[in-house]
Amino acid sequence: MATPHFKVHQPASLEEALDLLGRHRASVKLLAGGTDLVLKLRAGAVSAADLVSLNRVAGLNRINYQDEDGLIIGAGAHISDVAEHPAVRQHYPALAHACSVMATTQIRNMGTVAGNLANAAPSADTAAPLLAYRASVVLVERGGRRQVRLEEFFKGPGLTVLEPMEILEAIRVPAPPRRAGSCYLRLSARSQVDIAAVGVAGFLALDMQGAMMGVRLACASVAPTPVRCPEAEALLEGQEPEPQLLARAAAACVRAARPIDDVRASANYRRAMVQVLAGRVLEQCLNQAQGGAQ
Ligand SMILES: Cc1cc2nc3c(=O)[nH]c(=O)nc-3n(C[C@H](O)[C@H](O)[C@H](O)COP(=O)(O)OP(=O)(O)OC[C@H]3O[C@@H](n4cnc5c(N)ncnc54)[C@H](O)[C@@H]3O)c2cc1C
């Protein structure tokens, strides 16, 4: 497979990157780690004469956490950096886990979390935990910035609300409350080497009386986009964590899924596994929120 010819531009600032996008608008693509884009260029699935690399844009690889504002992941932050960041591991264990088990070491060292979202694969491993954590994305163009909730970002396989001249600048994730738990579990035929056939993420906190609040469940690889499970969330919100209720919520997650048969799994297997994984995810979330090990 021959690599097509293209020019790589290396802007040093976001303004310069936006200018380059505008100047080459007919033929340009943004390049982060290139782990998705370069394969698509080589396969002829996308074409571009100009690539605007984000790798040298100052400040874009930041990962910052503050108790009041939560987490900011810059568009240049590599998956492996997010996986290993102490604040991500402490406050967002489901995201740290997703970033440490997805893909291979080489891909995690090159690929970015922002690229994983912008690529908009239904199987994107970082999407389900970020949905569970109520993340938003900051999108910037020459005219200004806007913040979009992640659940409104995905439009279909490979499709997002990103405008052609827009850059996903950062991912913002609110700080979790105390007594919270979160978890991401994925299944794939060949461990990390293969993309997930099913992924389920969850988040919940416990109030002073022990009732569940802020419950979020999200799935990957079982619908045209990563999806939340609103019926299951509503069943659990404000309730005591009784085993039968948790089992009903896990079953309700299946109704958010619209899986297909493909080389990775059948639709029936995916439906069955959503329920199994959702049950385990809820159990682990509760265990953490009640003070157990992560
Ligand atoms: C062998 C292999 C294994 C893989 N395994 C997994 C896996 O297990 N799980 C998984 O989820 N993925 C997997 N992937 C897919 C890929 O590695 C990830 O999606 C990665 O996070 C993409 O990030 P990137 O920085 O390389 O993006 P790029 O390839 O550079 O870009 C991807 C797309 O997003 C756009 N883009 C990138 N950054 C921005 C931005 N800041 N603003 C706007 N648009 C942007 C690009 O223009 C392009 O269209 C795998 C890939 C390979 C090759």
CA-193 nearest atom, ligand 1 = 3
Amino acid 194: pLDDT: 78
> Hey, what are 31's tokens?
């390049």
> Hey, what are 153's tokens?
């970002």
Block means of pLDDT (10 residues each) for the chain, 294 residues, are: 84 97 94 96 93 96 97 98 98 98 95 98 97 98 96 98 97 96 91 83 97 98 98 98 97 96 92 98 97 66
Amino acid 1: pLDDT: 62
**Domain 7-53 CATH assignment equals 1.10.1040.10:** no
Q: Return the amino acid letter for 9.
A: H
- The alpha carbon of 117 and the centre of ligand 1 are apart by a number of angstroms equal to 8
Amino acid 189: pLDDT: 76
Amino acid 5: pLDDT: 87
> Hey, what are 113's tokens?
């979390």
> Three-state SS for 25?
coil
Amino acid 294: pLDDT: 52
Homologous superfamily of domain range 180-289: CO dehydrogenase flavoprotein, C-terminal domain (3.30.390.50)
Distance CA 233, CA 203 (A): 10
CB atoms within 10 A of CB 290: 12
Amino acid 95: pLDDT: 98
> Three-state SS for 94?
helix
Q: Does the pTM exceed 0.95? A: yes
Would 7-53 and 180-289 be classified into the same CATH topology?
Answer: no
* C-beta of 195 in contact with ligand 1 (< 6 A): yes
* C-beta of 107 in contact with ligand 1 (< 6 A): yes
By the 8 A CB rule, do 11 and 17 touch?
Answer: yes
Could you give the dihedral angle defined by the CA atoms of residues 260, 261, 265 and 266, in that order, rounded to the nearest 10 degrees?
A: 100
Distance CA 216, CA 54 (A): 32
* C-beta of 162 in contact with ligand 1 (< 6 A): yes
Amino acid 199: pLDDT: 97
> So where are the chain's domains?
7-53, 63-173, 180-289
State which CATH number among 3.30.465.10, 3.60.21.10, 3.40.50.10310, 1.10.1740.10 fits the domain covering 63-173: 3.30.465.10
Nearest CA to ligand 1 atom 28: 34
Distances in Å between the Cα of 55 and the Cα atoms of 33, 77, 117, 126, 143 are 8, 9, 17, 20, 23
